[in-house]
Structure 1
Amino acid sequence: MDGTVLIADDDRTIRTVLTQALTRAGCRVHATGSLSQLQRWVEEGRGDLVITDVMMPDGNGIDMIPAIRKARQDLPVIVISAQNTIVTAIRATEAAAFDYLPKPFDLPDLMVRANQALSRRSRKSDPVPVPGLPTPEAADPTLPLIGHAPAMQNLFRMVARVLNADLPVMIAGEAGVGKTVVARSFHDLSDRRDAGFAVLTSADLSEEAIARAGERAAGGTLLIEDPAGFGTAAQARLIGLIEAWEVGPGRNQMPRLVSTTGPEPQAEVAAGRLRADLYYRLAGVTVAVPPLRARVDDIPPLARHLLARAAAQGLPQRALSDGATALIRAYAFPGNVRELENLMRRLALTAAGAEITEAEARTALAESAPLAAASIAANAAVSRPVSATPAPTPTHQAAAPSVAASAPSVAEPANARLSQSVEMHLQRYFDLHGDQLPPPGLYDRILREIEKPLLEIALDATGGNQLRCADLLGINRNTLRKKLTDLNIEVTRRRKLM
């Protein structure tokens, strides 16, 4: 690696680590804790690469990029920031930064990107910021699109790249991951933000409703929620509307199409639930939103963010204790961010003091999912700092996505009957409450815990065929449909592979 690197960061440790690593790689390095000093070096013609933090004592590193490009058009800038939000990634992209990395970053990863920047020196294809264009800072800062996990950072980069592209976007993911929030960001953070925004759901299937939604979204964004859930006739009407926009006189006012779907949209097409010609009109680019279990390290900061947002909305100000944080991190959150937000709001209302205790978090999790909470008690120890005293019993692995799929505990024989396994989980649940009884309503909560995985496994075994599933379970098909709706279970028809 060859070249001179200018580093601007107010953290002396980071400056030292980067200076040593880049120097060993063969670079010459100038490091400073001041943006004004960085600007002087740039204007003097020093440097082949800039690595800058965002929040600095004398300014904002992203805000400085246009000045750097004005003085040195060919000087690449890598942004590093502890502000791990989608807005930071978008602002870095719009400012034509060479790359963006969240803190804490992997040093080898940064070195690879620095080498790429020094090798290319100039990115002539980078867009030049348009003077006077509003920045996304005006967007809602309460959007829960935060995360340091690689899966979330990949999402942020993808959103930033296609934010203002003239392409339809399909947002795929499980229920509760925040697909609608991501979809809304494609409007609120884009250059269409001042135009119309409309949502089309399965409740808006008439020709008049579809046409009205198109009119409200003219020049802006039309969000289509789960088009695979639309009937065949409604999908045909939607295709007709899109074709009319594409070839009609109002083509310049055609809204951007953003749609949400389950985690496997192509499976919806294969199963016949989503018309292929509609899919290809909506999936110009597909953005996958990861489930919460795929970014476990993001759960604690996201939980704190949601508590702060709840306080801003009038709920009591709360903080999480270390014990509560460990419990929450160990839980698999099958309902994803939506379930986490509901949990944080409940704890904000029910906690006795300013800090949410471990016992309060355990009780709230038990009320949401009693069987899962029973196994979490042991799992939480994995996330806590190791004490000087060895634990008297073996620790368990992190909590599984659902209770039915959880591995047996170390004390549970592999050939244990279902009733024995359930009995052990229930006894743990009662033991968690010590001398107190669990909260009322235990019977219904336990049945829901068992019912949901039973329905999901039966649906999977029958390839999503609800008639066969109802027959397998021995219940009426209408009863099955109501249970699927009540439990928020998504159904995907497919061929069963034998």
Structure 2
Amino acid sequence: MDGTVLIADDDRTIRTVLTQALTRAGCRVHATGSLSQLSKWVEEGRGDLVITDVMMPDGNGIDQIPAIRQARPDLPVIVISAQNTIVTAIRATEAAAFEYLPKPFDLPDLMAKAGQALSRRPRKSDLAPEPSPLRHSTDPAMPLIGHAPAMQALFRMVARVLNADLPVLIAGEPGTGKSIIARSFHDLSDRSERGVVVLTSADAGEEVFARVADKTRGGTIIIENPAGFDQAAQARLIGLIEALEAESERTQLPRIVSTTGPDPQADMAAGRLRSDLYYRLAGVTVSVPPLRARVDDILPLAEHLLARAATQGLPERGLTEDAAGLLRAYAFPGNVRELENLMRRLALTASGPEVSATEMREALSQQGGTRAAGGGGTTTTESGSNGTAPIANARLSDTVEAHLQRYFDLHGDELPPPGLYDRILHEIERPLLEVALDATGGNQLKCADLLGINRNTLRKKLTELNIEVTRRRKLM
């Protein structure tokens, strides 16, 4: 490896490690803890590669990249940062950084990237175009943070396709943060000043679809779990997409971002998702890893959630070392949503400034107890393409409230479409009737008696909701 490397990092240990590694590899190294010194070296024409941290005492390393490119368009910049968020990855991409690596980085990986950058001999035609202005100064809400390789790969993919015109399908288990990532495709993109509409199975009526086009010219349509829409609603979605493509100018076409379970092709094979709709939605598929695949992120996420709970009025809490060990060993079938539920509960119930191992063990046992069959409370589930992920709430009203709050949160600063009362009652009514029918073996008289309604009323509702009734003997 040959060349001169300029290092800017306020951590003396990192400067020493990088200096020693690069010197052993044959490079000449200048290291500093100041961005102003880095700028001086660049302006003097020194260096064949820059390695810079983001958060520095005298500025932001990513904000410095446009000035470096203006002075030295052929000088590659590698960004390293402990700010392991999706916004950092996007901003590094917008600034046309050669590479972005999260701290703590893998030294052999960084050395390999440095070697690639130094071996590059760009011609004028090879130079990257001028980066767009850096627009994102604040990070969105959790869970879009993570050092784990799976999350960093996700961040890079989002950064690459953020402003592309292709539709995006975000796949993953319930609770992984798919809805927040979907929203980030609007809020962090160059469409952020345009309209955004969120469509769920509760919004599948023709009158809702009719208003979508006017509200999303050049903006974004987010479709939550299209496999959960009935076949008629999926057909209307296809018609909506075709109408938008036919009637809109290219610059006015809304971008379509959808969320789905971990295996949308299985949904398609099982008939839950129409193939002609799937291929319209899956221009780019982004997979969100479950929390168990990013174990190293559990503790940083927990600390972030405790800090966020404190800003919302809950007591400030930390974790003892033993409590942190228990947390890290837990599988979290409910993913980040379950972790958030747990952290908020501990922030409220812990007896001291730090959550003890005993308190953590008891809280985790309650998580498992809520999921166990035959518990004293009501357990509800969120459907995915390959099963369900329980929501750890003891009361049905708590679970309904959580789902409703999430539904409102999905719409950001906008209110959901009018007619919410009837849509929500419709959503609750169908599963209630289906479960009651199953429990009574399809006997409509017993079902009506169980529900406390007239048999004719039950028949009318079954017809309206197109619920098929199969009479069978209930097995005990």
* Aligned counterpart, 1:166: 165
Aligned-pair CA distance for 1:326: 0.9
Task: String of CA shifts for 1:364-401, please: whole Å, max 9, x gaps.
Answer: 111111399xxxxxxxxxxxxxxxxxxxxxxxxxxxxx
Structure 1 position 194 matched with structure 2 position 196: no
* Aligned counterpart, 1:102: 102
Distance 1:190 1:448, change over 3 A: closer
* Aligned counterpart, 1:7: 7
* Aligned counterpart, 2:359: 360
* Aligned counterpart, 1:128: 130
Aligned-pair CA distance for 1:251: 4.3
Task: String of CA shifts for 1:303-351, please: whole Å, max 9, x gaps.
Answer: 0001111111111111111111111111100000000000000011111
Aligned-pair CA distance for 1:27: 1.5
Structure 1 position 31 matched with structure 2 position 19: no
* Aligned counterpart, 2:376: 444
Structure 1 position 256 matched with structure 2 position 245: no
Distance 1:319 1:476, change over 3 A: farther
* Aligned counterpart, 2:307: 308
Aligned-pair CA distance for 1:300: 0.5
2:320–2:356 CA contact under 8 A, matched in 1: yes
* Aligned counterpart, 1:93: 93
Task: String of CA shifts for 1:134-189, please: whole Å, max 9, x gaps.
Answer: 6112453x332111100001011111111111111100000000000111111111
Q: Distance in 1 between the 2:39 and 2:209 partners?
A: 53
Q: Distance in 2 between the 1:270 and 1:328 partners?
A: 37
- Code of the aligned partner of 2:117: A
- Code of the aligned partner of 1:198: V
1:136–1:190 CA contact under 8 A, matched in 2: no
- Code of the aligned partner of 2:187: D
Matches within 5 A, 1:41-440: 41-122=41-122, 124=126, 126-130=128-132, 133=133, 135-138=135-138, 140=140, 142-370=141-369
- Code of the aligned partner of 2:41: W
Aligned-pair CA distance for 1:122: 3.8
2:227–2:260 CA contact under 8 A, matched in 1: yes
Distance 1:274 1:76, change over 3 A: same
Aligned-pair CA distance for 1:216: 2.1
1:151–1:294 CA contact under 8 A, matched in 2: yes
Q: Distance in 2 between the 1:477 and 1:322 partners?
A: 53
1:76–1:121 CA contact under 8 A, matched in 2: no
Q: Percent identity?
A: 72
Aligned-pair CA distance for 1:201: 0.4
Aligned-pair CA distance for 1:298: 0.5
Q: Distance in 2 between the 1:251 and 1:93 partners?
A: 25
Distance 1:301 1:66, change over 3 A: same
Q: Distance in 1 between the 2:221 and 2:387 partners?
A: 32
Q: Distance in 1 between the 2:168 and 2:350 partners?
A: 41
Q: Distance in 1 between the 2:296 and 2:51 partners?
A: 26
Q: Distance in 1 between the 2:64 and 2:3 partners?
A: 22
Q: Distance in 2 between the 1:37 and 1:90 partners?
A: 26
- Code of the aligned partner of 1:126: A
Q: Distance in 1 between the 2:84 and 2:121 partners?
A: 26
Q: Distance in 2 between the 1:206 and 1:370 partners?
A: 38
Q: Distance in 1 between the 2:368 and 2:200 partners?
A: 30
1:98–1:117 CA contact under 8 A, matched in 2: yes
Distance 1:45 1:335, change over 3 A: same
Q: Distance in 1 between the 2:12 and 2:440 partners?
A: 66
2:91–2:134 CA contact under 8 A, matched in 1: no
Aligned-pair CA distance for 1:218: 2.2
Aligned-pair CA distance for 1:228: 1.0
- Code of the aligned partner of 2:245: E
Aligned-pair CA distance for 1:235: 1.3
Q: Distance in 2 between the 1:307 and 1:313 partners?
A: 10
1:324–1:356 CA contact under 8 A, matched in 2: yes
- Code of the aligned partner of 1:15: R
Distance 1:196 1:42, change over 3 A: same
Aligned-pair CA distance for 1:39: 0.8
Q: Structure 1 stretch 147-156 or stretch 25-34: which is displaced more?
A: 25-34
Q: Which runs of 5+ in 2 are unaligned?
A: 389-434, 444-476
Task: String of CA shifts for 1:178-223, please: whole Å, max 9, x gaps.
Answer: 0001111111111111111110000111222112233322211110
2:268–2:275 CA contact under 8 A, matched in 1: yes
Task: String of CA shifts for 1:429-459, please: whole Å, max 9, x gaps.
Answer: xxxxxxxxxxxxx9426x969xx9xx969xx
TM-score (norm 1): 0.74
Aligned-pair CA distance for 1:241: 1.4
Aligned-pair CA distance for 1:233: 1.6
2:167–2:256 CA contact under 8 A, matched in 1: yes
Matches within 5 A, 1:453-464: none
Q: Distance in 1 between the 2:39 and 2:134 partners?
A: 24
Q: Distance in 2 between the 1:293 and 1:27 partners?
A: 40
Aligned-pair CA distance for 1:247: 2.2
- Code of the aligned partner of 2:376: D
Q: Distance in 2 between the 1:66 and 1:456 partners?
A: 48
Name the SS of the counterpart of 2:309 in structure 1.
helix
The total of aligned residue pairs comes to 391
Aligned-pair CA distance for 1:21: 1.1
Q: Distance in 1 between the 2:202 and 2:20 partners?
A: 60
Q: Distance in 1 between the 2:304 and 2:186 partners?
A: 22
- Code of the aligned partner of 2:176: V
Q: Distance in 1 between the 2:134 and 2:67 partners?
A: 17
Distance 1:239 1:24, change over 3 A: same
Q: Distance in 2 between the 1:125 and 1:161 partners?
A: 18
Aligned-pair CA distance for 1:477: 7.8
Q: Distance in 1 between the 2:127 and 2:201 partners?
A: 41
1:173–1:290 CA contact under 8 A, matched in 2: yes
Distance 1:475 1:115, change over 3 A: farther
Distance 1:128 1:256, change over 3 A: same
RMSD of equivalent CA atoms:
2.7
Q: Structure 1 stretch 29-38 or stretch 256-265: which is displaced more?
A: 29-38
TM-score (norm 2): 0.77
